[in-house]
C-alpha cells in the first residue's frame, strides 16, 4: 500500500477518532445533539426524506452499466450478470421511488396513502422494464471500461449496508427521540444489544452511511477526468454531511452516530478504490 493511497484512510480515521473521542467526554454528545434538535426544520426534513436517494441512484446506474456492458463475457459471466444485475436494478428503482414517501409518512398516524401504495409498484415495474430494455439495446463496447467501476459501486453500497445494520443490531443504542433525559443516554462505546426494535438501532447512522455512499458515483467518472472526480467527491461529502446533520436535527441520531456512519462508508470507499486502481 503506497503512502499516497493510504493518506485518505489515515486522515479520515484520525478525524473520526478525534470526533468520537470528543463525544465520549462528559455530556458533549448529549448536549450538542440536543442543541441541534429541531424536528420541524425544513432542512432536516428534506435531507431526512431524500438523503438516501442519490445512493439508490448510484446503485441503479451501476446495475444498469453492469447489464449494458455484458457483451464479450464468458457464458457463465454473462448469465451471472443478469442474475445479479436485474434484481439490483429493480431494487434500485424501487428505493428511488419509495424512500421519499416512506420517510415523509414515517410518523403519520394513517401511514402512506393507499393510492401511493398501489401506484408506486406499478411505476417501479414500468421504469425497471424500460431500463432493462435500454440496457439490452445499447452498444456495450463503449461501456465495457465502466464494468469494474460499476461492480465496485455495488460492492461499496452492499458492504456499508451490511456493516452498518449488523453494528446497529449488536450495539442496541437508543435513539435520541426514544429517550427524554441524560440518565437514559448511552455513550457510543457502550454495547447494549441485541437491539429489540428500531428505536434501539441508533449507532451507527444508516442514513448517513448511505448519504456518504454517493461518493461511489465518482468511480464511474473516467480516471483521466481528475477535476470532475474531485468535484464529485467534494459534492458527495457535502451531501453526506448535510444528511448527517439532518439526522441529528430530526432527533433520529446523536452526533457520534452520524460520525461513525459516515466513517464506515468513507473507509470502505477508500479501501475499494485502492483495489480498483
Residue 194: alpha-carbon gap to chain centroid: 23
The alpha carbon of residue 240 and the mean position of all alpha carbons in its chain are separated, in whole angstroms, by: 9
Tens digit of each residue's pLDDT (9 = 90 or more) over 165-216 = 999 999 999 999 999 899 999 999 999 889 888 899 999 999 999 999 999 9
The string over 82-113, giving b where at least 16 C-beta atoms fall within 10 Å of a residue's C-beta and e elsewhere, is eeebbebbbbbbbbbbbbbebbeeeeeeeeee
C-alpha cell at 137: 439495446
5 pLDDT more than 70: no
- Three-state DSSP at 65 gives helix
Q: Angle at the Cα of 266 (from 257 to 260), degrees rounded to 5? A: 15
Between 34 and 111, the higher pLDDT residue: 34
- 3-class state of residue 190 by DSSP: coil
Q: Is the pLDDT of residue 33 over 70?
A: yes
Task: Please tell me the distance from the alpha carbon of residue 65 to that of residue 148, in angstroms, as a whole number.
Answer: 10
Burial label for 7, CB within 10 Å (0-12, 13-18, 19+), is exposed
Q: Is the backbone of residue 24 left (phi > 0), alpha (psi -120 to 50) or beta?
A: alpha
pLDDT in tens, 46-100: 999 999 999 999 999 999 999 998 877 788 887 888 889 999 999 999 999 999 9
Q: Which pLDDT score is estimated for 3?
A: 53
Neighbouring residues of 181: CB distance < 8 A, sequence distance ≥ 6: none
The residues near 143 (Cβ < 8 Å, ≥ 6 apart) are: 65, 68, 69
Q: Are residues 190 and 174 in contact, defined by beta-carbon separation less than 8 angstroms? A: no
pLDDT exceeding 90 applies to what percent of the chain?
Answer: 77
Amino acid at each position: 500500500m503506497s503512502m499516497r493511497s493510504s493518506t485518505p484512510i489515515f486522515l479520515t480515521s484520525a478525524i473520526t477518532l478525534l470526533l468520537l473521542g470528543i463525544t465520549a467526554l462528559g455530556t458533549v454528545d448529549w448536549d450538542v445533539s440536543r442543541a441541534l434538535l429541531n424536528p420541524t426544520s425544513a432542512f432536516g426534513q428534506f435531507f431526512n426524506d431524500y438523503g438516501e436517494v442519490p445512493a439508490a441512484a448510484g446503485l441503479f446506474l451501476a446495475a444498469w452499466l453492469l447489464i449494458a456492458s455484458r457483451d464479450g463475457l464468458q457464458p457463465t459471466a454473462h448469465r451471472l450478470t443478469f442474475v445479479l444485475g436485474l434484481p439490483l436494478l429493480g431494487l434500485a428503482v424501487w428505493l428511488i421511488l419509495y424512500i421519499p414517501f416512506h420517510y415523509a409518512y414515517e410518523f403519520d398516524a394513517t401511514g402512506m396513502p393507499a393510492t401511493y401504495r398501489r401506484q408506486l409498484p406499478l411505476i417501479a415495474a414500468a421504469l425497471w422494464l424500460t431500463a432493462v430494455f435500454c440496457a439490452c439495446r445499447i452498444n456495450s463496447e463503449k461501456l465495457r471500461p465502466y464494468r469494474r467501476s460499476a461492480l465496485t459501486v455495488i460492492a461499496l453500497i452492499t458492504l456499508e449496508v451490511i456493516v452498518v445494520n449488523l453494528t446497529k443490531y449488536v450495539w442496541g443504542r437508543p435513539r435520541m427521540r426514544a429517550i427524554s433525559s441524560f440518565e437514559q443516554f448511552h455513550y457510543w462505546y457502550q454495547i447494549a444489544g441485541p437491539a429489540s426494535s428500531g428505536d434501539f438501532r441508533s449507532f451507527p447512522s444508516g442514513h448517513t452511511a448511505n448519504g456518504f455512499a454517493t461518493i461511489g458515483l465518482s468511480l464511474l467518472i473516467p480516471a483521466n477526468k481528475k477535476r470532475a472526480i474531485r468535484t464529485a467527491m467534494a459534492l458527495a461529502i457535502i451531501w453526506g454531511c448535510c444528511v448527517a446533520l439532518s439526522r441529528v436535527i430530526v432527533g433520529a441520531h446523536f452526533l457520534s452516530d452520524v460520525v461513525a456512519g459516515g466513517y464506515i462508508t468513507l473507509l470502505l470507499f477508500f479501501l475499494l478504490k485502492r483495489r480498483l486502481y
